[in-house]
């Protein structure tokens, strides 16, 4: 085969490959455009359901006048204490009843220290500082071990309790402030407990203890 024909063949093959790649990219972009809104709606509904689960009395949520300001203060508070390493507060909303009266707060918290990656959860805290409950939005821990964090037996330890900070029980006995760790899933238990403690710290300091004016 002549050198000219070889070059033409290479150019031809390259153009075909480029065309295939271009068509595939356009197709993927089209699929993304079609699915992104339903996905966003599903995620938004999951968050609403989670907020209702952790604060059943709530009928509506309301943003603060300056939500970014609340998150910035939360970040400063958590960054200043190594006890909350790897935890971020992603969202804080006011929980209200049907008359728009403030019942407390719901927040989304993420830990980067899960065994299988990030763990994102919601939690509700009323105006008296009582933790109403927790619910997971994303968790990818080991099935049969860390994933047991989703079970009510574990989550109920973080329900309807007024606690400053939780700690892991060393006796496999849960109490008002002690959490019975999931068997063979200490990393998961620690990540969840640390996240809850971080959320409680933020609500207690920023809102209940008048750390800042909301």
Express as a percent the part of the chain with pLDDT over 90.
Answer: 60
The 10s digit of each residue's pLDDT in 83-131 is 999 999 999 999 999 999 999 999 999 999 999 999 999 999 999 999 9
Rounded Cα distance between 60 and 175, Å, is 32
Does pTM top 0.75 for this prediction?
Answer: yes
Report domain extents, the chain: 60-208
Surface-to-core class of residue 159, CB atoms within 10 Å of its CB (0-12 exposed, 13-18 middle, 19+ buried): middle
Average pLDDT, whole number, for the chain?
86
Question: Which 8-state DSSP code applies to residue 161?
Answer: B
Q: What is the pLDDT of residue 34?
A: 61
Checking if the pLDDT of 1 tops 60, the result is no
- Characterize 112-136 residue by residue with b for buried, 16 or more Cβ atoms within 10 angstroms of its Cβ, and e for exposed: ebbbbeebbbbbbbbeebebbbbbb
**Average pLDDT for residues 165-170, to the nearest whole number?**
84
Q: What is the pLDDT of residue 2?
A: 55
Checking if the pLDDT of 189 tops 80, the result is yes
**Average pLDDT for residues 128-149, to the nearest whole number?**
96
Q: What is the pLDDT of residue 175?
A: 63
Checking if the pLDDT of 11 tops 90, the result is no
Q: What is the pLDDT of residue 147?
A: 97
148 neighbors 154 (Cβ within 8 angstroms)? yes
Q: What is the pLDDT of residue 44?
A: 74
208 neighbors 127 (Cβ within 8 angstroms)? yes
Q: What is the pLDDT of residue 87?
A: 98
Top-confidence residue, 162 or 43: 162
């Amino acid at each position: 085969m002549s050198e000219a024909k070889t070059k033409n063949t290479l150019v031809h093959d390259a153009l075909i490959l480029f065309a295939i790649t271009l068509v595939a990219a356009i197709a993927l972009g089209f699929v993304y455009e079609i699915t992104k809104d339903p996905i966003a709606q599903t995620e938004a509904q999951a968050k609403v359901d989670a907020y209702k689960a952790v604060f059943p009395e709530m009928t509506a949520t309301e943003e603060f006048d300056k939500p970014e300001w609340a998150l910035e203060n939360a970040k400063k508070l958590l960054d200043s204490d190594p006890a909350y390493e790897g935890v971020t507060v992603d969202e804080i909303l006011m929980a209200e009843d049907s008359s728009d009266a403030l019942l407390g707060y719901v927040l989304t918290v993420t830990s980067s220290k899960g065994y299988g990656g990030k763990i994102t959860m919601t939690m509700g805290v009323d105006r008296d500082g009582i933790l109403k409950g927790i619910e997971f939005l994303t968790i990818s821990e080991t099935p049969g071990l860390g994933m047991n964090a989703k079970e009510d037996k574990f989550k109920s330890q973080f329900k309807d309790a007024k606690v400053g900070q939780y700690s892991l029980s060393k006796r496999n006995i849960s109490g008002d402030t002690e959490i019975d760790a999931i068997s063979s899933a200490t990393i998961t238990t620690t990540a969840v407990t640390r996240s809850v403690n971080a959320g409680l710290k933020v609500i207690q300091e920023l809102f209940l203890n008048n750390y800042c004016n909301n």
